[in-house]
């Protein structure tokens, strides 16, 4: 009975966790993890573009997380999402021409969305990534230009948010975690929190 009560207490407990993000999409998605009580902080980090989407995302997540972790003893979560296609890594478009070029690259092809999750608990740092494949249909000028002219692409990896209604006609299919494409892989993040915070070295363990 004592073990069961301890287990229940850990499940019902809320954990203050610093989230190194200003993304409104991530702020909404973190609410799906019920045990987390998020404290949002902005990190002014210069994002790198490296050899692969995986390397780029994990490096940037470490940079963001490291900045936030330097200022608090609380657990810290940070994320970085990038799009990889062939040998290209697509971050956020810098201007209209850049956004148009991204859509011309993405349309009619399959690309990979990678989100890296950084978690710091005490002195322990964990970085894991989730990958989702997305296929776009052919380039549709009206859909693409209307979307770009709305201003929506400029804070999004690859220039789009799969949640945006205006982008739906371009998406043929996706394979993997939908929320990963939005910017926060909920299942992976929850798993890391459970393993390293709730049931970690300082928590309850059966």
Residues 6+ apart with CB under 8 A from 29: 179, 182, 183, 184, 186
Angle between helices 141-149 and 96-106 (to 10 degrees): 140
Catalytic residue among 80, 87, 155, 175: 80
Q: Which residues of 42-55 are buried (b: 16+ CB within 10 A; e: fewer)?
A: ebebeeeeeeebbb
Q: Which of 48, 62, 101, 79 is nearest to 182 (CA)?
A: 79
Strands (E), the chain: 15-20, 36-41, 76-85, 88-90, 110-121, 124-136, 171-175
Q: Is 97 a catalytic residue?
A: no
**Which residues lie below 8 Å from residue 190, measured CB to CB, with a gap of 6+?**
32, 33
Beta bridge partners of 89: 84
User: Catalytic amino acids?
Assistant: 80
């Amino acid at each position: 009975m004592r073990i069961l009560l301890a287990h229940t207490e850990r499940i019902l407990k809320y954990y203050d966790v610093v989230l190194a993000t200003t993304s409104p999409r991530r702020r909404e998605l973190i609410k799906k993890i019920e045990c987390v009580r998020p404290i949002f902080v902005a990190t002014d980090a210069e994002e790198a573009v490296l050899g692969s989407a995986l390397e780029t995302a994990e490096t940037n997540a470490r940079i963001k997380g490291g900045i936030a972790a330097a200022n608090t003893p609380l657990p810290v979560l940070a994320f970085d999402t990038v799009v990889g296609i062939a040998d290209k890594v697509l971050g956020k478009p810098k201007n209209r021409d850049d956004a148009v070029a991204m859509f011309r690259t993405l349309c009619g092809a399959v690309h990979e969305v990678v989100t890296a999750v950084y978690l710091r608990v005490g002195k322990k740092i964990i970085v894991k990534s989730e990958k989702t494949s997305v296929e776009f249909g052919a380039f549709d000028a009206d859909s693409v230009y209307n979307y770009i002219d709305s201003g929506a692409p400029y804070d999004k990896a690859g220039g789009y948010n799969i949640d945006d209604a205006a982008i739906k006609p371009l998406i043929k299919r996706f394979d993997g975690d939908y929320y990963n494409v939005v910017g926060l892989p909920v299942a992976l993040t929850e798993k890391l929190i459970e393993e390293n915070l709730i049931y970690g070295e300082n928590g309850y363990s059966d």
